[in-house]
Amino acid sequence: MNNHLINQNDGEKTKEQLLWELKQLRQRMANLEAADIERRRIEKSLSKYESNFQELVNLLPQTIYEMDINGKFRFTNHHGFESFGYNQADIEKGINFTQLFVPEDRERVEHNIKKILEGTEVEGHEYTALRKDGSTFQALIYSSPIMQNNKAVGLRGVVIDITDRKKIEQELKDSRDQFRNLSAHLQSVREEERSYIAREIHDELGQTLTALKMDLIWINRHLTSEQQEISTKIQEMFSLIDQTIHTIRRIATDLRPGLLDDLGLSAAIEWYCEDFENRTGIHCHLELGNEDIILDQQRSIAIFRILQEALTNVARHAKATQVVVKIAIIDHNFMMEIRDNGIGITDEQVNDPQNLGLVGLRERVYPWGGTIIIKGSPRQGTTVKVNIPL
């Protein structure tokens, strides 16, 4: 009797268990069915997004690409096919990314790919791209790694055809070089003209005025005591002639200081700093090294003109009371620093392309690869640093 009840209870528990498991199975099947419906919906949505993305990528005017970890080309857009001359069948057969560049660039391409896959940030690089037909074009490439589970599995990026840009850059460079050559030629012609005019003024006018003064001296000696009025007039003419001679010498010196040709750059700089102080009242302190500065004529002229222009700017614009000029030769470089205590030049004034004086300063040092740095601070003055390799 008791054994029969026990068996009956065990049977009822088994049936309840089966019903519960059946219910769980049905619930699981319903969940799986819902999950399958959701999966199909997601796949459909992803397919739509992928289609839209594909259309968008194909509209881009640059090459978009993907490659695997071994460099095998996996995808490109319509522009990529047009730019490189390949088709989908070529990609399916197998194209390595390095094939798309001229042989001399391939080692650099592989090196940069390795750096990107290792996680190093690499800026865009310019290469010479190679089409299927053997023709080339200049390309700028930006790339980033394709990550899966925190591991790089490939590379994707964009290839920009910069052939037209490089052509324009070259044309601009050629135009700039032509302009600078013309500027250098004009400066040379101007210096020759200044030298010629200075000689003519000094020699011709100076000698003529001196001869005129000597004639007046002769006339003055032969005047009688009754001709005192004429003698007074002659004395006035003496004064006028002396002033004219002094003016002629100043103009000739400004055009081309004889010291620069006769005694060299150091003497010319010393004279000009002293003359600048006498003319403007601005104290000019010159720090000239013990070493005598001996340069070729072209560099000497350029440096002297830079000093002239810089000190002229101080007198005109700086409202300074003092200027310090330092000159030295360091490591085969001529160094000159001109520092005043005036109102200070602004960055806008330094970079203003209409400021032809500063543009001219920079052009004077260009033939030798020199540099001019101009910095100013409000009410703390302006500093001009000149560096010319020797």
DSSP 191-215: HHHHHHHHHHIIIIIHHHHHHHHHH
- Summarised one tens digit per residue, pLDDT across range 187-217 is 777 767 777 777 777 777 878 888 888 888 8
Determine the pLDDT at residue 105.
Answer: 93
What confidence tier does 148 reach under pLDDT thresholds 50, 70, 90? Answer: confident
Average confidence (pLDDT) over 112-140: 89
Both ends of the chain: CA-CA distance in Å?
123
Average pLDDT of the chain to the nearest whole number: 83
Average confidence (pLDDT) over 58-79: 87
- Summarised one tens digit per residue, pLDDT across range 276-304 is 999 899 999 999 876 677 788 888 888 88
Helix or strand or coil: residue 83? helix
**Cα–Cα distance measured from residue 204 to residue 282, given in angstroms and rounded to the nearest whole number:** 34
Determine the pLDDT at residue 341.
Answer: 92
Least confident of 41-45, 265-269, 377-381: 41-45
Nearest to 334 by CA among 307, 377, 295, 290: 295
What confidence tier does 6 reach under pLDDT thresholds 50, 70, 90? Answer: very low
- Summarised one tens digit per residue, pLDDT across range 229-244 is 888 888 888 888 888 8
Residue 90: left if φ>0, alpha if ψ -120 to 50, beta else—which one?
Answer: alpha
Determine the pLDDT at residue 29.
Answer: 83
In this structure, the number of other CB atoms found within 10 A of the CB of residue 281 comes to 9
* Burial call 182-210: b when 16+ CB within 10 Å, e when fewer: ebbeebeeebeebbeebeebbeebbeebe
In the chain, the amino acid numbered 232 is T
**pLDDT at residue 370 above 70?**
yes
**Cα–Cα distance measured from residue 161 to residue 82, given in angstroms and rounded to the nearest whole number:** 12
| pTM over the 0.85 mark | no
Q: Any idea what DSSP says for residue 85?
A: -
Average confidence (pLDDT) over 345-372: 81
Question: Helix axis angle, 163-200 relative to 228-255, nearest 10°?
Answer: 150
Q: Spell out the long-range contacts of 262-268 with Cβ–Cβ below 8 A and sequence spacing 24 or more.
A: 264/292, 264/293, 264/294, 264/300, 265/293, 265/294, 265/295, 265/300, 265/303, 265/304, 266/292, 266/293, 266/327, 268/300, 268/304
Task: Choose the most confident range, by mean pLDDT, from 14-18, 36-40, 65-69.
Answer: 65-69
Determine the pLDDT at residue 385.
Answer: 93
For 60-102, where are the alpha helices, taking DSSP H only?
A: 78-84, 88-93
Helix or strand or coil: residue 356? helix
Tell which wins on pLDDT, 350 or 156.
156
